[in-house]
Each structure stands twice: as C-alpha cells, then as structure tokens.
Amino acid sequence: MGFSTRQIHAGVTPDPLTGSILTPIYQTTTYVQPSVDEYMTKGFTYSRSGNPTVRALELKLTDLEGGIDCSCFGTGMAAVQGVMLAFLNAGDHAVISDVAYGGTYRLCTKVLSRFGVEFTFADGSDPEAVAAAVRDNTKLFLTETPANPTMKCSDIAAISAIAKKAGAVHAVDNTFLTPYYQRPLEMGADMSIHSTTKYMDGHNATVGGAVISATAEHGDAVRFIQNSTGSIMSPQVAWLTLQGCKTLSLRMDQQSANAMAIAQFLEAHPKVEQVCYPGLESFAQHELAKRQASGYGAMLWFEVKGGLEAGKKLMDAVEIWSLAENLGSVESLITHPVTMTHADVEEAERARVGIIDGLVRLSAGLEDVEDLIDALDKALDQV
C-alpha cells in the first residue's frame, strides 16, 4: 500500500473492547497476568518494558521505514544515546558526521568520551574521508543527512558499504527528511533514528525519539538499552505522535514546497549573501540530494549581507516566524544555531565544519507561503 495509507493505518487496529478507532492512551503502570504459568500472554508486563499505545507507534514507524522493529524513546537524544550504548563499549571507536545536531556532538564529546569511547567527526559528503577514519576498533557509523544546521548531505549507500566492510553498524539520523522522502534501510543502513519531536509530531506538542532497525538482532539490542536505562516514551506522547504521523506526507509536501519558494526568494534578494537549500541547483550536493531522497525537505539557511549583526536584526524584526529552537512543526521557526542549538559546539569546531556566525536557520511551516515571504521581505528591509 502507498505511504499515505500506511501512515494512517499501520500499527493501529480498532480497540477490541470498544471499537474506538483511535488507539486509547493506556495510562497504566502494570498489566495483570492470568497466572504464573501464563505470564505475558498479552505481550505486556510493566510500562517501562512496553506499553500498548507506545507499541502502536513503534509498529507504525517500523512499517513506514521498512524495518523489522522499532523502539521509541523519551527524546531524540535518548534514541541517539540508545544506539550508542547498544553498539559501543569502552575502547571502541565511532565515526560520526562532522556536522550533526549540537546535542549529538555534546553526547559524544562530553558524555560518552568519559567512558572510554573514541569518536572521529568525518566529512560525510566525502566517502573517502569516512573510509580514512576507520580504525581496527570502529564499531559504529552515525550519519546525519541532511545535517543540522548546514544541510550537508552524506551518501548513505556509500557509508553503509564502508561500515559493512569494517564490520560495524551504520545508523542514519533521518529526522530532517523522514521516511516519506528518505529510507536509509533500503540503502543499506542498519538503523534509522528520529527525533519524533520534529516532523512525526509536527505540531510542537511533544518531545520523543525512535530507532527503527533492519534486523531483529539490532532491534533487540536497542530495546535492551531502552528498557535497561528506562529511556521510554510516555503513552500520551505516543498518542499525539500517532495522530501527527497521519498527515506526515501532506505536511512534508507542503512545507517543502514552501521552503523551495522561500529559498528562491532569498537567493534573488540583494541583501542576502548566500542561501543553502538542497533543492537549489546552487546547493553543493544537489545531485546527491536528488538521487537518494524523493524530496528536499523544509529546512534551509541563509546569511544576510553584514553577517551576524545583520542576521540578529532580521531575527528580532521578523514577524510570523517564531524565534525558537525546534524544527519540523506547522509553525514556521527561525533559529540562530550558534547561540541556540549548537551553542555547545566549540568555536573552532563550528568554523571547521561551516557553522558560520551569521547562519540563520529556517524551518518552513504550513502558513501561506506569500505571508512567510512577505514577513522575511519586510524584515530584510529593516536590516
């Protein structure tokens, strides 16, 4: 069946007790067992180890990504951590995209490094640089593509092949494009990671995460960490995310069309120094973006002539666009990564990977695109 049919129906069946078309919020800690010998016959024992509402979302995401299993987490960062704890031990090494969400970089450099895990941040747009980073103890590759915030794209199939040769697992953070546009497991990756906070929810209502695995073995390894660390998603969050998923394809298409129109407007504006959107022909990995995904997504960035000071003026002046951390929601958001989402990445590292001070990140929402463009136009007038 097609994606839009599956995003509505996969994982969900009418409630057997009442016929409720929506999976109920199973707000419970525990599940009464019929007898000691018939333990877990209904599949649930205790809500840290599994909850029917959360399970419905896990089944839906498994279907949408074309995987075998999924574990949902309390946040996207808990999902990233779940993968790292499942596949890395003290003394191991991991190769991470050199541009990634600031929280992923912080988890590697400030938390897991304390437990004897080593990291190399390699240029994912250059498979040779990724291959050159491999060591005897490399156990995990994590690719974020397109990357937050520079939008750098990495070749998923090429990195999956490098990981296989190295005997390591390959996880892809697929938050920016979602399985509607990009399916890493079909390109050879072992796992797809999401901050469901973004497009899966889509309404700025929740924080959550998910890891979808291509094999039962990897799925079990991630679920073991989810249960052992207690990094679970709540039934309320799962319920809201289940509703959000039902309109994913519609939102992605419209938000991406809005992003394209905004990128074209900015590219032609005399006060704009540069615009970066995978759908523009001027984008460095435009051909790769076109080849490995069926859409370009709704994230872009630009730099105003005059750099940081001009960018700050614009962000303070602009209407409709809310100055906030997050992305992927129906509300359009404007963000300054250097002081917000990537503030914990050291200045030298930011400079190395192209997170420039004047970078203004946009998450195109679902408002009328004429209004979004008009608001940016008026703010640019004030710069």
Residues at the contact surface with ligand PLP, assessed by CB under 6 A: 75-77, 80, 101, 103, 144, 148, 173, 175, 195, 197, 207, 209
Nearer to ligand PLP, 78 or 380 (CB): 78
Catalytic, 48? Answer yes
Hey, is 283 helix, strand or coil? coil
Which is closer to ligand PLP, CB of 122 or CB of 233? 233
Between 207 and 369, CB nearer to ligand PLP: 207
Q: Which is nearer to ligand PLP, 62 or 197 (CB)?
A: 197
Active site residue 198: yes
CA dist 34 and 271 (Å) reads 70
Among 280, 204, 201, 287, CA closest to 241: 201
In the complex, minimum distance from the CB of residue 148 to ligand PLP, in angstroms, rounded to a whole number: 4
Q: Are residues 73 and 57 in contact, defined by beta-carbon separation less than 8 angstroms?
A: no
Catalytic-labelled residue, pool 183, 198, 223, 350: 198
Identify the residue whose tokens are 């994606």. Answer: 3
Smallest separation, CB 55 to ligand PLP (Å): 20
Q: β-strand 322-323 against 169-173: which pairing, if any? A: unpaired
Determine if the peptide bond prior to 179 is cis (ω within 30°).
no
Catalytic residue status for 173: yes
Nearer to ligand PLP, 107 or 375 (CB): 107
Shortest distance (Å) from residue 18 CB to ligand PLP = 32
Q: What minimum distance in Å lies between the beta carbon of 83 and ligand PLP?
A: 11
Please provide the DSSP assignment of 312-325 as one string. Answer: HHHHHH-SSSEE-S
Best CA proximity match to 4, nearest among 204, 285, 252, 238: 252
**Nearest residue (beta carbon) to ligand PLP:** 76
Distance CA 58, CA 11 (A): 8
Q: Provide the minimum distance between the beta carbon of 45 and ligand PLP in the complex, in angstroms, as a whole number.
A: 27
Q: Label each residue of 189-245 as H, E or C.
A: CCEEEEECCCCCCCCCCCCCEEEEECCHHHHHHHHHHHHHHCCECCHHHHHHHHHHH
Nearest to 88 by CA among 141, 17, 37, 151: 141
Q: From the candidates 98, 123, 155, 173, which is the catalytic residue? A: 173
Structural tokens at position 169: 């697992």
User: Which residue in 273, 272, 300, 277 sits closest to 362, CA to CA?
Assistant: 300
Q: Rounded CA gap, 291 and 68, in Å?
A: 25
**Least distance from ligand PLP to the Cβ atom of residue 302, Å:** 18
Q: Which is nearer to ligand PLP, 80 or 238 (CB)?
A: 80
Give me the catalytic one of 6, 26, 48, 377. 48
Q: What are phi and psi of 144, to 5 degrees?
A: -105, 115
Just list the catalytic residues: 48, 101, 173, 198
